[in-house]
RNA sequence: CGGGACGUGGCUCAGUCUGGUAGAGCACCGCGUUCGGGACGCGGGGGCCGGAGGUUCAAAUCCUCUCGUCCCGACCA
C-alpha cells in the first residue's frame, strides 16, 4: 500500500477526551474516529487490525469445528419476551418499535436468535454436537461507555453457541472452545490468563473469562502463586475460616450500650471505641427484588454483591436508601445492627465464630458492645458472601494469592438448558425421548482485542503491534522521494516484498524524515525499512524492529530476504 | 440515573473571574529555502465562541434553560 494513495490521518496532539493509552493511540494513529458516545468509525488501519484479529478467530473457530453463520442485528421483541429477558435485560437493550408498532431491539447478544434457529432446525441427537458462530456488530446501550473502543456501545464481537445432547458432550464442547480461545489469544500476541468468572446476566452454571493482563484493566483478578487457580474477584471463593467455637459459650460478656454521637463509619467507630475492624460487624440492609434482607459482614471485609445476589437468587439487588434503613432499623444509616430486626438475616461465614463484637444499636448515635450470635440475635443463614482480600489464602490449595488487573477479551459459559427450556429447543434422543438441548456460549470482543493489544504493547512513541494484528507487517521509509536512486531502490524492494505476499506500507509521501519516523513509530508496524541517502552511498539500507531499540543495516539486495526472516521470526515467537 | 468537570477555526488550548465586538501553537493552501527523528521565512484561507432565551448601549464573558462530551459509581465482549 502506498501511503500517498491511502488514508492514515495522524495527530501529534493527544486528544483531550481520551483517557487510556489505547484510546489515545488509536485516535492519534488514525485508526478510529468517534461518531458519538461509544460509537466509532474504523478508519483503514483500524479496520485492518480488526480484520486480522477476525481472521485469526475465524481460522481457529473453524479448526475447532464451529460453523460460521451471520444473524440479524435487529431482533423481534417477541423472542426476548419468550426467553424472559425482555424485562430482565434492562436498559442496555436498545428497544424501538417498527412501523407496525411491533417491539424490536438491537441485538446485544444472540442466544435468543440462535436458539430459535436451533429449535426449528435441530430435532435429533444425530444433528449434534454442533457449534454455530458469527462475527458481528453488537449494540449494548451501556450506561457509561468509555475508553474508546474498549467499552463502546457498538462493538464487534465473535459469539459462538454450542448444542449438545448431554452434559458430558457439553463439557467436551466447552473444553474445545477453551482450547481454541487459548490458541486465538496466543496467536494475537496477547499475554492473558483464563480465570473463573461470575456468569452475570447471561446465566448458566460455570464460566471462564480470558483476561489480558494490563494495569488499566477494568477487572480485578486474583491468581494463586502455588497452583493454577485464577479468578475474577467477583467470583473468587473465600475459604471458610473456622474459628474455634467452643469458647463462645463461656466467653460471652455482658452486652453494653455505648453512645457514639455522629460516629457512623467503620473507621470512625473502631477508632472511637479503640477496637480493630475485625471486632466489628457491619449490618447492611439490602433490597433483593421485593424482599428486604440484612447482611452481616465483618468490619474489615467488603460484601461481594455478586455472591450475595446469586445466594439470594434475586434478579436485582440494591443497597437500601436512608428511608428504608430507617423504616427497618429505626435509625439513620450508620447505626444498623442485627438485634431485633424482623427481616431475614444472612451473614458471611467469617463471623460464625466471632464473640463479643460490636454492632450498630438500631438507634441514632448508639452502638452495642459484646454482642453475640445466638444470645442477642439469630442468623438465618451463613454463606461465603464477601470479597476476597490479600490476606486470604487460595481456596483451592491454600497457597498465597496475588491481585492483578485484566481486560476481559473473551468469556465462555456453560449455559445448560436455560434458553433451550425457555424457548422449547428440544430434540429426540436415541430412545425417542424428548429433551432440551444443552447449550454453551462463547464470546470474544474482537475490537477489544485490538485495544487490549495496544494497552499491553506500547511505548512513549506509540503502538508496538504484535505482528498478527498489525495493520501492516512492514513499513518502508524512503527518506527522500526526489532522488531517483532512493525511489528506484525503494520500488524494487517494495515490489519484492509484495511478491512475497508481505503486507507492506510504503511511505512515499513528500514529507520530511522526522515526520515519517514519528508516524511509523505511532502506528507501530513491527518491521521498518529505512532507505536514505547515507546508507545508499554504502549500498546499504536500515532495518529496525519496532519492539527493539536498535536498528541494523544490510546490503540492499539482502533486504527483502532479511525482512522475510524477521517477519517469520516474529510470528514464530507467538507459537 | 446519581456525583464532578468541560464545550472558543481540523487538533491542543488562552481569553470568561473584572462585558467593549476573538487569539496562539500545530494542521491546511501558495512561493522559496531546507531534508536521517514532528524544519524555517514570506504570503494566505478558515471560527453565527455547542444551541435557545434573557440582562445590557454592548455578551465568548453575566443569568436561565437545553444539547453534547469526558471523568468517578451500578453493566459487560
Q: Is the Cβ atom of A19 within 7 Å of strand B at any atom?
A: yes
Q: Is the Cβ atom of A444 within 7 Å of strand B at any atom?
A: yes
Q: Is the Cβ atom of A34 within 7 Å of strand B at any atom?
A: yes
Could you identify the residue whose CA is nearest to the C1' atom of nucleotide B73?
A144
Q: Is the Cβ atom of A141 within 7 Å of strand B at any atom?
A: no
**Residue A77 pLDDT grade (very low, low, confident, very high; cuts 50, 70, 90):** very high
Which of A15-19, A241-245, A336-340, A493-497 holds the top average pLDDT? A493-497
Joined grid coordinates for residue A231: 479468578
**For chain A, give me the number of helices (H) and strands (E)?**
16, 31
**In the block, residue with C-alpha cell 480465570:** A195
Contact present, A197 and A233 (Cβ < 8 Å): no
Q: Is the Cβ atom of A15 within 7 Å of strand B at any atom?
A: yes
CA dihedral A560, A566, A570, A573 (to 10 degrees): 140
Contact present, A500 and A560 (Cβ < 8 Å): yes
Check residue A241 and give its pLDDT.
Answer: 61
Helix (H, G, I), strand (E, B) or coil at A210: strand
Query: Phi/psi zone of residue A298: left (φ > 0), alpha (ψ -120 to 50 degrees), beta?
Result: beta
**Strand A504-506 with A474-478, pairing:** parallel
Nucleotides of B under 7 A from a protein CB: 1-2, 11-13, 25-27, 34-39, 68-77
Sign (positive/negative) of CA torsion A116, A122, A123, A125? negative
Q: Is the Cβ atom of A143 within 7 Å of strand B at any atom?
A: yes
Q: Where are the beta strands (DSSP E) in A349-400?
A: 357-360, 366-371, 381-383
Classify burial at A528, counting beta carbons within 10 Å of its beta carbon; exposed 0-12, middle 13-18, buried 19 or more.
Answer: buried
A212: closest CA among A241, A238, A182? A182
Check residue A200 and give its pLDDT.
Answer: 61
**In the block, residue with C-alpha cell 467507630:** A269
Contact present, A338 and A294 (Cβ < 8 Å): yes
Check residue A278 and give its pLDDT.
Answer: 86
**Strand A401-416 with A438-445, pairing:** antiparallel
pLDDT average, residue stretch A8-14: 94
Q: Is the Cβ atom of A302 within 7 Å of strand B at any atom?
A: no
Check residue A199 and give its pLDDT.
Answer: 67
Q: Which of residues 264-293 of A touch strand B (CB under 7 A)?
A: none
Q: Is the Cβ atom of A521 within 7 Å of strand B at any atom?
A: yes
What is the distance in angstroms between the CA of the first residue and the CA of the last residue of chain A? 28
Q: Is the Cβ atom of A3 within 7 Å of strand B at any atom?
A: no
Rounded to whole angstroms, the Cα distance separating A30 from A43 reads 7
Rounded to whole angstroms, the Cα distance separating A189 from A574 reads 6
DSSP A331: S
DSSP string, A6-23: S-----SSPPTT--SHHH
Rounded to whole angstroms, the Cα distance separating A24 from A399 reads 39
More reliable by pLDDT, A287 or A380: A380
H-run or E-run covering A412 = strand A401-416
Q: Residue A533, CA: closest nucleotide via C1'?
A: B36
Q: Residue A534, CA: closest nucleotide via C1'?
A: B36
Check residue A203 and give its pLDDT.
Answer: 58
pLDDT average, residue stretch A196-207: 70
Rounded to whole angstroms, the Cα distance separating A37 from A146 reads 8
Rounded to whole angstroms, the Cα distance separating A147 from A19 reads 6
Helix (H, G, I), strand (E, B) or coil at A404: strand
> Distance from residue A15 (CA) to nucleotide B17 (C1'), in Å?
27
Give the pLDDT confidence of A525-544 residue by residue, as tens digits.
Answer: 999 999 999 999 999 999 99
Query: Phi/psi zone of residue A483: left (φ > 0), alpha (ψ -120 to 50 degrees), beta?
Result: beta
A6: closest CA among A32, A38, A45? A45
Rounded to whole angstroms, the Cα distance separating A451 from A27 reads 11
> Distance from residue A45 (CA) to nucleotide B48 (C1'), in Å?
36
Classify burial at A564, counting beta carbons within 10 Å of its beta carbon; exposed 0-12, middle 13-18, buried 19 or more.
Answer: middle
Q: Is the Cβ atom of A16 within 7 Å of strand B at any atom?
A: yes
Q: How far is CA A9 from CA A32, A155, A200, A452, A511, in A?
A: 10, 22, 40, 22, 14
Give the pLDDT confidence of A53-62 residue by residue, as tens digits.
Answer: 999 999 999 9
Which of A182-191, A252-261, A358-367, A381-390 holds the top average pLDDT? A182-191
Q: Is the Cβ atom of A522 within 7 Å of strand B at any atom?
A: yes
Give the pLDDT confidence of A102-161 residue by residue, as tens digits.
Answer: 999 999 999 999 999 999 999 999 999 999 999 999 999 888 888 889 999 999 999 999
Q: Is the Cβ atom of A448 within 7 Å of strand B at any atom?
A: yes
Cis peptide before A129 (omega within 30 of 0): yes
Residue A246 has pLDDT above 60, yes or no: no
Q: Is the Cβ atom of A76 within 7 Å of strand B at any atom?
A: no
Residue A316 has pLDDT above 80, yes or no: no
Q: Is the Cβ atom of A193 within 7 Å of strand B at any atom?
A: no
**Residue A287 pLDDT grade (very low, low, confident, very high; cuts 50, 70, 90):** confident
Give the pLDDT confidence of A559-570 residue by residue, as tens digits.
Answer: 999 999 999 999
From A279-283, A349-353, A418-422, the region with the lowest mean pLDDT: A349-353
Q: Residue A317, CA: closest nucleotide via C1'?
A: B74
> Distance from residue A16 (CA) to nucleotide B64 (C1'), in Å?
29
pTM: 0.90
Q: Is the Cβ atom of A538 within 7 Å of strand B at any atom?
A: no
Joined grid coordinates for residue A525: 508496524
> Distance from residue A522 (CA) to nucleotide B49 (C1'), in Å?
33
Check residue A447 and give its pLDDT.
Answer: 94
Check residue A201 and give its pLDDT.
Answer: 55
| Mean pLDDT for chain A overall | 91
Rounded to whole angstroms, the Cα distance separating A21 from A34 reads 16
Q: Residue A305, CA: closest nucleotide via C1'?
A: B74
Check residue A277 and give its pLDDT.
Answer: 86
Check residue A471 and give its pLDDT.
Answer: 98
Amino acid at each position: 500500500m502506498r501511503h500517498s494513495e491511502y488514508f492514515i490521518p495522524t495527530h501529534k496532539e493527544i486528544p483531550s477526551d481520551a483517557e487510556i493509552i489505547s484510546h489515545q493511540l488509536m485516535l492519534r494513529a488514525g485508526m478510529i474516529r468517534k461518531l458519538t458516545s461509544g460509537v466509532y468509525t474504523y478508519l483503514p488501519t483500524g479496520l485492518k487490525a480488526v480484520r486480522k484479529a477476525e481472521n485469526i478467530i475465524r481460522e481457529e473457530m473453524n479448526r475447532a469445528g464451529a460453523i460460521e453463520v451471520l444473524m440479524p442485528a435487529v431482533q423481534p421483541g417477541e423472542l426476548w419476551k419468550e426467553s424472559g429477558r425482555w424485562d430482565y435485560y434492562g436498559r442496555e437493550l436498545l428497544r424501538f418499535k417498527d412501523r407496525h408498532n411491533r417491539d424490536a431491539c438491537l441485538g446485544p447478544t444472540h442466544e435468543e436468535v440462535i436458539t430459535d434457529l436451533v429449535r426449528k432446525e435441530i430435532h435429533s441427537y444425530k444433528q449434534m454436537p454442533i457449534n454455530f458462530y458469527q462475527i458481528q456488530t453488537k449494540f449494548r446501550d451501556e450506561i457509561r461507555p468509555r475508553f474508546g473502543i474498549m467499552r463502546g456501545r457498538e462493538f464487534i464481537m465473535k459469539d459462538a453457541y454450542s448444542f449438545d445432547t448431554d452434559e458430558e458432550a457439553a463439557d467436551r464442547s466447552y473444553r474445545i472452545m477453551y482450547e481454541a480461545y487459548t490458541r486465538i489469544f496466543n496467536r494475537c500476541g496477547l499475554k492473558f490468563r483464563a480465570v473463573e468468572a461470575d456468569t452475570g446476566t447471561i446465566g448458566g452454571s460455570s464460566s471462564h473469562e480470558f483476561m489480558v493482563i494490563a494495569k488499566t484493566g477494568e477487572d480485578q483478578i486474583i491468581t494463586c502463586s502455588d497452583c493454577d487457580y485464577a479468578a475474577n474477584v467477583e467470583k473468587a471463593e473465600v475459604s471458610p475460616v473456622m474459628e474455634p467455637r467452643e469458647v463462645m459459650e463461656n466467653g460471652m460478656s455482658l452486652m453494653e450500650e455505648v453512645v457514639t454521637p455522629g460516629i457512623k463509619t467503620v473507621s470512625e467507630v473502631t477508632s472511637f471505641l479503640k477496637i480493630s475492624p475485625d471486632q466489628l460487624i457491619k449490618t447492611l440492609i439490602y433490597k433483593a427484588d421485593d424482599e428486604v434482607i440484612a447482611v452481616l459482614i465483618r468490619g474489615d471485609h467488603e460484601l461481594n454483591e455478586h455472591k450475595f445476589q446469586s445466594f439470594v437468587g434475586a434478579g436485582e439487588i440494591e443497597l437500601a436508601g436512608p428511608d428504608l434503613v430507617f423504616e427497618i432499623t429505626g435509625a439513620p444509616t450508620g447505626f444498623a445492627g442485627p438485634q431485633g430486626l424482623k427481616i431475614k438475616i444472612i451473614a458471611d461465614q467469617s463471623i460464625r465464630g466471632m464473640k463479643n463484637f460490636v454492632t450498630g444499636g438500631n438507634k441514632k448515635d448508639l452502638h452495642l458492645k459484646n454482642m453475640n450470635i445466638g444470645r442477642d440475635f439469630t442468623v438465618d443463614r451463613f454463606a461465603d458472601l464477601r470479597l476476597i482480600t490479600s490476606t486470604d489464602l487460595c481456596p483451592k490449595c491454600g497457597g498465597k494469592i496475588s491481585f492483578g488487573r485484566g481486560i476481559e477479551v473473551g468469556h465462555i459459559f456453560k449455559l445448560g438448558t436455560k434458553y433451550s427450556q425457555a424457548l422449547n429447543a428440544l430434540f429426540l434422543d436415541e430412545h425417542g425421548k424428548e429433551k432440551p438441548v444443552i447449550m454453551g456460549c462463547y464470546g470474544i470482543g474482537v475490537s477489544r482485542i485490538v485495544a487490549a493489544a495496544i494497552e499491553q504493547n506500547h511505548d512513549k512513541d506509540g503502538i508496538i503491534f504484535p505482528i498478527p494484528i498489525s495493520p501492516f507487517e512492514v513499513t518502508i521509509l524512503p527518506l527522500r522521494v526526489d532522488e531517483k536512486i532512493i525511489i528506484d531502490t525503494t520500488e524494487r524492494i517494495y515490489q519484492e516484498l509484495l511478491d512475497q505476499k508481505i503486507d507492506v506500507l510504503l511511505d512515499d509521501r513528500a514529507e520530511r524524515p522526522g515526520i515519517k519516523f514519528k508516524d511509523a513509530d505511532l502506528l507501530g508496524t513491527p518491521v521498518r525499512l529505512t532507505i536514505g541517502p547515507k546508507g545508499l552511498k554504502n549500498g546499504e539500507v536500515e532495518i529496525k524492529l519496532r519492539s527493539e531499540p536498535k536498528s541494523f543495516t544490510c546490503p540492499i539486495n539482502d533486504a527483502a530476504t532479511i525482512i522475510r526472516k524477521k517477519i517469520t521470526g516474529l510470528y514464530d515467537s507467538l507459537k
